[in-house]
């Protein structure tokens, strides 16, 4: 089977790198956005991930504005490939992170889903949300030869649930003690970790409000990439002087350990191994790779009871909070620290991530789904 991955290079996206490497053990992989757009080559299946990163033109439109002409041009490519190969997309997000309220990107996402034959989800909640969101969508794949993967699914794309594979490709050789020593954190501290981008000031407020009200002795807030809020003043020099003063305050305060830039992959282990509990500060989110990341490193993970995130955390005994009532995150974090101290949930998380969610295991599930789609289309 020959598969075209229609996505621009994203070398820092560990999910894509690991998945494509694992898939290449079973199928022939070509990762080329230009071949997709230029409608070149002969493939059995086209694998999509993020519509905003299918091509460099779409990436530019993500920040500069998406036009109807570009949506139409994308649909032209999807129709071309849909007549020659099976189209499958892995559903990572509801909509692009920075375009949640943009009707143009809603149109684009629906246009992509309208043409695909299969959708891979990380949990059942995403399947249910998809069917509700696109209940009135007229799927173009209905007009092609019907692909009956499961007889109870009816018309439209077929669905498969494949876990988000683990992060064992990241280094993990530094002990908890050494990680804390390098970060300047006491061995007795109770460490709340926020890892990855903080997308808006609502999430920033959620983090600070939750941390401030925790009743944990020696608590420390460890953040890999803090989101700064610049003062609303006219003088540029004053604006950045105030920013530097804020950084100086947090640097001197023993309860805060903030980084402000991108964390290299080799340093991810420092943050995860120094932490007691990993906090996911999202208020409206479909999925989060931080669930699998935290579980790979044997941490208790706390996050919102929101679609796949809520489903996976609840099923594995990790605490959740109500995203409609952000104040409930305090109790969830308190429970998270108690579970971390008991020492059962974190190790159970790690056993699950290492034992059942390897990239090779997940790739085999993808290949099985791909084969069913392709072979049914040929029969």
pLDDT in tens, 291-304: 999 999 999 999 99
Whole-angstrom distance, CA of residue 326 vs CA of residue 259:
24
- For residue 100, what pLDDT is reported? 86
Q: Does any domain span residue 147?
A: yes
Report the 10 Å Cβ neighbour count for 151: 6
**158 and 240 assigned to the same domain:** no
What would the pLDDT profile of 319-337 be if each residue is shown by its tens digit?
A: 999 999 999 999 999 999 9
**158 and 183 assigned to the same domain:** no
Q: Does any domain span residue 233?
A: yes
Q: Does any domain span residue 109?
A: yes
Whole-angstrom distance, CA of residue 246 vs CA of residue 233:
15
**71 and 111 assigned to the same domain:** yes
**138 and 200 assigned to the same domain:** no
Looking at the 3D structure of the chain, how many domains does it have?
Answer: 2
Query: What token pair was written down for 30?
Result: 């070509």
Query: Given pLDDT bands bounded at 50, 70 and 90, which one contains residue 145?
Result: very low
Q: What is the pTM of this model?
A: 0.93
Q: Does any domain span residue 170?
A: no
Please report the beta strands in 70-115, taking only residues with DSSP state E, as ranges in sequence order.
86-90
> Phi and psi dihedrals of 319, rounded to 5?
-70, 145
Domain with residue 152: its CATH number is 3.40.50.2000
- For residue 146, what pLDDT is reported? 43
**31 and 64 assigned to the same domain:** yes
Query: Given pLDDT bands bounded at 50, 70 and 90, which one contains residue 171?
Result: very high
What would the pLDDT profile of 22-32 be if each residue is shown by its tens digit?
A: 999 999 999 99
**218 and 132 assigned to the same domain:** no
Q: What is the DSSP string of 9-43?
A: --TT-HHHHHHHHHHTTTSEEEE-HHHHHHT-S--
What would the pLDDT profile of 52-70 be if each residue is shown by its tens digit?
A: 999 999 999 999 999 999 9
Nearby residues of 239 by Cβ (< 8 Å), 6 or more positions away: 230, 231, 233
**203 and 154 assigned to the same domain:** no
**135 and 283 assigned to the same domain:** no
Q: Does any domain span residue 232?
A: yes
**350 and 202 assigned to the same domain:** yes
**225 and 336 assigned to the same domain:** yes
Q: Does any domain span residue 212?
A: yes
Tell me the three state secondary structure of residue 138: coil
Q: Does any domain span residue 213?
A: yes
| Range with top average pLDDT, 97-106, 136-145, 315-324 | 315-324
Q: Quick one: which of 334, 345, 341, 332 has its CA closest to 276?
A: 341
- For residue 232, what pLDDT is reported? 76
Pairing mode, if any, of strands 158-161 and 45-48? unpaired
Domain enclosing residue 27, as ranges: 2-165+358-378
Q: Does any domain span residue 107?
A: yes
**204 and 55 assigned to the same domain:** no
Query: Given pLDDT bands bounded at 50, 70 and 90, which one contains residue 362?
Result: very high
**241 and 319 assigned to the same domain:** yes
């Amino acid at each position: 089977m020959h598969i075209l991955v229609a996505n621009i290079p994203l070398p820092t996206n560990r999910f894509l790198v690991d998945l494509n490497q694992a898939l290449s053990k079973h199928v022939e992989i070509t990762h080329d956005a230009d071949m997709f757009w230029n409608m070149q080559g002969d493939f059995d299946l086209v694998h999509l991930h993020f519509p905003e990163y299918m091509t460099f033109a779409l990436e530019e439109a993500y920040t500069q504005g998406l036009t109807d002409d570009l949506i139409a041009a994308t649909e032209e490519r999807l129709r071309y490939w849909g007549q020659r190969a099976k189209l499958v997309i892995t559903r990572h997000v509801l909509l692009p992170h920075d375009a949640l309220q943009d009707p143009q990107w809603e149109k684009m996402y629906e246009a992509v889903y309208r043409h695909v034959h299969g959708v891979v989800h990380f949990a059942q909640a995403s399947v249910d949300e998809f069917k509700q969101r696109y209940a009135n969508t007229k799927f173009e794949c209905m007009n092609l030869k019907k692909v009956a993967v499961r007889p109870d699914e009816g018309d439209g794309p077929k669905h498969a649930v494949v876990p988000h594979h683990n992060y064992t490709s990241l280094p993990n050789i530094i002990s908890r003690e050494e990680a804390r020593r390098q970060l300047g954190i006491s061995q007795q501290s109770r460490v709340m970790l926020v890892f990855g981008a903080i997308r808006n000031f609502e999430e920033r407020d959620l983090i600070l409000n939750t941390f401030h009200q925790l009743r944990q002795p020696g608590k420390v807030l460890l953040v890999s990439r803090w989101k700064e809020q610049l003062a609303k003043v006219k003088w540029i020099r004053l604006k950045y002087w105030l920013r530097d003063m804020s950084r100086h305050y947090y640097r001197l305060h023993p309860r805060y350990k903030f980084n402000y830039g991108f964390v290299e992959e080799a340093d991810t282990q420092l943050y995860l191994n120094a932490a007691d509990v990993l906090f996911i500060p999202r208020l409206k989110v479909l999925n989060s790779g931080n669930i699998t990341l935290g579980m790979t490193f044997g941490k208790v993970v706390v996050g919102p009871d929101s679609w796949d995130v809520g489903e996976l955390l609840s099923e594995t005994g990790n605490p959740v909070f109500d995203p409609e009532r952000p104040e409930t995150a305090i109790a969830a974090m308190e429970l998270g620290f108690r579970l971390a101290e008991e020492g059962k949930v974190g190790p159970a998380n790690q056993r699950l991530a290492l034992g059942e969610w390897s990239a090779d295991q997940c790739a085999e599930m993808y290949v099985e789904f791909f084969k069913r789609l392709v072979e049914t289309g040929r029969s």
